[in-house]
Amino acid sequence: MATTTPTGVRGGHAKHGGAPSADGAPMSHRQIMEALSGLLLGMFVAILSSTIVSNALPEIIKDLGGGQSAYTWVVTAALLSMTATTPLWGKLADLFSKKLLVQIALVIYVAGSVVAGLAQNTGMLIACRVVQGIGVGGLTALSQIILAAMIAPRERGRYSGYLGATFAVATVGGPLLGGVITDTDWLGWRWCFYVGVPFALIALLVLQKTLKLPVVKRQVKVDWSGAFVISAAVSLLLIWVTFAGDKYDWMSWQTAAMVGGSVLLTGLFVLVESRASEPIIPLRLFRNRTITLASLASLFVGVAMFAGTVFFSQYFQLARDKSPTMSGVMTIPMIAGLFVSSTVSGMVITKTGRWKAWLVTGGVLVTAGLGLLGTIRYDTEYWHIAVFMAVLGLGLGMMMQNLVLCTQNQVAPADLGAASSVVTFFRSLGGAVGVSALGAVLANRVTTYVRDGFAELGPKGAALGHGGTGGGGIPDLDALPAPVRTIMESAYGHGVGDVFLWSAPFALLAFLVTLFIKEVALKSGASKTPDETAAADVEAVAPAVETSAPAGIPVCGTVRTADGAAVPGAAVTLISLGGRQLGRTVAPADGGYALDAPGTGSYVLIASADGFQPQASTVVVGDGPLAYDVLLSGTSGLTGVVVTETGGPVAGAMVIVTDVRGDVLATGASAEDGAFSFAELVPGAVTVAVNAHGFRPLALSVEIGGQGVTRVEAALRAGAMVRGVVRAGAGAGRRPLSDARVTLVDAAGNVVATATTGEDGAYVFTDLDAGEYTVIASGYPPVAGPVTVTGLGADGHDIELAHPGE
């Protein structure tokens, strides 16, 4: 039951946060989390595809044939295509539907994954990894872009923590899952590519249902020439760093040709972008110091991040002879550090709005972690390595998402996609170049250490030969003689340590760059359209304008309520039809205001006050002063009391107010006397749901009045409970009986509820009225028994079933 009574009390104006949804209404936290679930699944798929093959790669290369070069290129191919296409995805996000684009990226990923699982040689696998990388590039870039479109920068740190946590779970889950799949005989490494497909399809469906963002339709022109040139420049650079020192010398004509060609292509890209009407990377973004420095830091962070995820698998499998599964388990300390730091930093940044300290600290930790890992050898104690990995993970978690966050805080909404993808592009570029270059370093160092190891064995080493390890292939340690095996383990342990040591200077450079990034506190408002941004700019300068322009035509009056009461403290602003502020004043105790219009014509008068709905009016100013009173309507409140059927108060009842769309507007608990109160509710139809222990839930439809407070009385009916256990008869040892069907029938013969017992034989019926019931249980011959429900608490009713004759 419900009664409503206006009382004339006014509340504050209701405020809603969040970015606009497709229908223009703000997105609630529930809507954001629903949409974010699809994005997190997409991000999980993207990271999973990069990490799940890491522990399977030694087996893959041995099966398909190839050496360290092929090993590196299986990873680099995906990074290359991801790097080259990330800016393009970012630009497309500024022009087309972000929802459609992320779904297309998922479809591309699925296609590449399915074909990769059918690969018959390393060349085919590398080609499929290129296709996978295109999809992953879209998922990585669009996840950040859509997040920024939905959530204000100040709140974005919290949700970025979710992305960081997903990154950590996928990073640790990928190698573990890949190792388990590889070690399972009836699956094999090919299922490493198939396993991400179901997640991608689920993400596709979730995004279709939950992601609702406005689509700005306008004439577009995609910069395909810029995309092609930047892809060619990056590809040529990666080919050079992969084969330099192996197929040809570092100082050779091939090096000169490839490096020179990459430089020329980069210059051509800058030229193309400067002339393109819709460049994929707007060069003007780099006039912003934060974007330039964040991009540079991301480049160096990418080297450290991918070095940590790619080369650990070779270390644990080839230097310590661990299985693919165990090599994934042993990297957990790094992922745990990343998980903790990304989540905690996101929460703290949301609370404080400050982010630079996290970046600087992350740079110190990444540098220290890589430097410490540079000391490892094949026989280093694992707990030392675990500590070093944890330090590296803590640093990476503090830097990766926050570099994107500080960039998004610096750009206009129109450039949000391009700016986000620029930072991601440089991080992927650093990873691609780093993996290629460091893979070449590893191959060179391993070859050197193996040669030195055989030389130390003397004539005995010459007699053993290379033990089947010649030709640069990935060795099978189990097939090697004991002396050769020790040499190979030592060579890979020392070689991977050298890789981390070479990575440390890049992390140090990232740390130095972050020192020069100027901290700007995160914005509290959601990303706005250009029109909204212009309006915000007008409002921002308003406090400096306390009176109108001099020597104008007076516009004066009183700000009051409908019943004639003055509204003191009301802010009154006069603006032109073009949106320029002409004057502003604050009404004194009598509610009066006076402004000067610059001349005759039409203007817009805006009045607002705490506890009232803002009012905008068009006023026409003639040759003489204009008198114009402004009427403000107060926002409404909701009060009430929760009682029992007999009228007694119910304390601690949960009261929830939702609008017609189901979004929660307010929640609270009733006091000792059963009373509850909510202010600042917008007039209109709402649903009031009440739930309390021992009572049946209640939902009321209430119309909030246009002014004053609406009163509601919620009378709860007692909700009793019947529970018990169905057991077999004495002949069966009175054991609990599962899958027995229990039916509850009221005194009139109506079926009230049914239940099926679980393994423990238990059943329960809730939210029952007081009265007489019959409980019928079947499974063996049915048994019926009466039960009296008192209306309070729980009534027990155990049942015994038996076959005839037991």
Whether pLDDT at 9 is above 60: no
Whether pLDDT at 246 is above 60: yes
| Range from 184-188, 243-247, 331-335, 620-624 carrying the lowest mean pLDDT | 243-247
What pLDDT is recorded for position 553? 85
| Range from 166-170, 398-402, 483-487, 713-717 carrying the lowest mean pLDDT | 166-170
Average pLDDT, the chain: 75
What pLDDT is recorded for position 544? 34
* Sequence letter at residue 251: M
Contact (Cβ atoms closer than 8 angstroms) between residue 310 and residue 54: yes
CA distances from 320 to 257, 326, 380, 493, 756 (A): 40, 10, 10, 8, 53
For the chain, what percent of residues have pLDDT higher than 90? 5
How sure is the predictor about 417, in pLDDT bands with cuts at 50, 70 and 90?
A: low
3-state secondary structure of 762: strand
CB atoms inside a 10 Å sphere around CB 13: 18
3-state secondary structure of 712: strand
Smallest CA-to-CA distance from 39 within 122, 140, 113, 143 is with 143
What pLDDT is recorded for position 29? 59
What pLDDT is recorded for position 558? 87
State which CATH number among 2.60.40.10, 1.10.10.60, 2.102.10.10, 3.40.50.150 fits the domain covering 534-633. Answer: 2.60.40.10
558-566 mean pLDDT: 76
* Sequence letter at residue 42: G
Q: Which CATH class is domain 720-801?
A: mainly beta
pLDDT in tens, 473-498: 566 676 777 778 888 888 889 999 99
First to last CA, the chain: 53
How sure is the predictor about 533, in pLDDT bands with cuts at 50, 70 and 90?
A: very low
Tell me which H or E stretch contains 640. Answer: strand 636-644
Tell me which H or E stretch contains 701. Answer: strand 698-704
How sure is the predictor about 707, in pLDDT bands with cuts at 50, 70 and 90?
A: low
Tell me which H or E stretch contains 658. Answer: strand 654-658
pLDDT in tens, 213-232: 655 544 556 677 877 887 78
3-state secondary structure 465-530: CCCCCHHHECCCHHHCCHHHHHHHHHHHHHHHHHHHHHHHHHHHHHHHHHHCCCCCCCCCCCCCCH
Q: Do domains 29-215+280-515 and 720-801 have the same CATH topology?
A: no
pLDDT in tens, 134-163: 888 887 777 767 776 666 555 655 566 666
Smallest CA-to-CA distance from 60 within 131, 112, 133, 126 is with 126
pLDDT in tens, 164-187: 667 656 765 677 777 788 777 778
Dig out the tokens for 421 from the structure: 């993808």
How sure is the predictor about 523, in pLDDT bands with cuts at 50, 70 and 90?
A: low
Whether pLDDT at 694 is above 80: no
* Topology adopted by domain 635-716: Immunoglobulin-like (2.60.40)
Q: How far apart, in whole angstroms, are the C-alpha atoms of residue 643 and residue 673?
A: 9
786-806 mean pLDDT: 69
Q: Which residues pair with 695 in a beta bridge?
A: 718
Dig out the tokens for 262 from the structure: 């990459």
| Range from 146-155, 269-278, 296-305, 609-618 carrying the lowest mean pLDDT | 146-155
CB atoms inside a 10 Å sphere around CB 57: 24
Nearest-5° angle of CA 562, CA 568, CA 570? 85
pTM over 0.85: no
What pLDDT is recorded for position 391? 93
Q: How far apart, in whole angstroms, are the C-alpha atoms of residue 201 and residue 45?
A: 10
* Sequence spans of domains, the chain: 29-215+280-515, 223-279, 534-633, 635-716, 720-801
Q: Give the chain's largest Cα–Cα span.
A: 113
- What DSSP character marks residue 286? G
What pLDDT is recorded for position 546? 35
Q: How far apart, in whole angstroms, are the C-alpha atoms of residue 404 and residue 533?
A: 21
Whether pLDDT at 387 is above 90: yes
Residue keyed to tokens 């020392």: 494
Contact (Cβ atoms closer than 8 angstroms) between residue 85 and residue 138: yes
Sign of CA dihedral 252, 253, 256, 259: negative
* Topology adopted by domain 29-215+280-515: Growth Hormone; Chain: A; (1.20.1250)
